[in-house]
Amino acid sequence: MQTKLQSALQTVREAAKVCRSVQAQLIDADSLTKKDRSPVTVADFASQAVICSALQEAFPHIPIVGEEDANDLRQPEHQELFSKIQSFLPDWSAEAILNGIDYGNGEPAEEFWTLDPIDGTKGFLRKQQYAIALSLIRNGEPVLGVLGCPNLGEQGTLLYAIRGEGAYQTDLNSDAFTKIHVTPFKENNPVRFLESVESGHSDHGLQGTIKAAFAERAQSVRYDSQVKYAVLAQGLADVYLRLPNPSQPDYREKIWDHAAGVVIVEEAGGRVSDIFGKALDFSAGKKLHHNCGVIATSGPLQDEIVKLIQQSA
């Protein structure tokens, strides 16, 4: 596992450097819109190419399930965008970039990587928080997670966890990792709720009801992306709710949006489940088909919040 960890850390660091360079020069024309209307940036594609190419070379037998593919970039109308990607990967051939992105078109297996090359694309476009999220899943369970959070902290933050070995963090420019842990529970402490910046990502009405149950103890902390998992694991927040939006009752979460964050929070001493208290099942393909919503907490509040959700449903 240590070999996989070192490869994952190294390639996420490299992708973070590229993402920082893109963000520093970002203009509105540097994105295209997918069919689901979510923006895709130069950095999404470049990040996936960097990470998937390295993992494919190091572990060719392990498939990679990524968020992006290169089909759009092969279309004539997107050649300007592809040229921008090439400008940030100057030593890469066009074929190497396209192939690198498409290495992420693998299918879930007994063991596989899952990658979100930029989780929180809209946060990235606002030049705020986003994460590079990479996880190794084995037998339906995340066993290794790496989060690169370039805008979290003064130097950016790199976090990782291996199942059964704890969670750790360092600056993106450092190898001096320190162990992290969720906030110790105290009865009268504030309860800090992590909320998405994007209003469409969750049922904010139900979230407000849950917060109201904690009265004046409830506080709000807003972050984009799996940075929320990082902040929870660091002990800087207590609850993250990803509640199903009533307008999309059949929506199921994508595995790459949660896998890395889940193992990091759990190894930091927290708990993660769906809204019914069931463990997240990563064995059902590219989505969490066997789960509804996500609840992540520092631990002691988990059962209480599951109960509150069921009472409010």
Residues designated catalytic = 44, 121
Give the position of tokens 């070999």: 3
For residue 72, give both structure tokens: 């759009």
Q: How far is CA 184 from CA 153, 169, 191, 227, 268, in A?
A: 22, 18, 12, 20, 11
How many Cβ atoms sit within 10 Å of the Cβ of residue 193?
22
In the 8-state DSSP scheme, what is residue 150? T
Burial of 303 (0-12, 13-18, 19+ CB in 10 A): middle
User: 192 forms bridges with which residues in the sheet?
Assistant: 219
- Determine contact, residues 235/180, Cβ cutoff 8 Å: yes
Q: Report the alpha-carbon distance of residue 169 to residue 146 in Å, rounded.
A: 10
145 and 265 in contact (C-beta within 8 Å)? no
CB distance 218 to 301 below 8 Å: no
Phi/psi region, residue 235 (left: phi>0; alpha: psi -120 to 50; beta: rest), is left
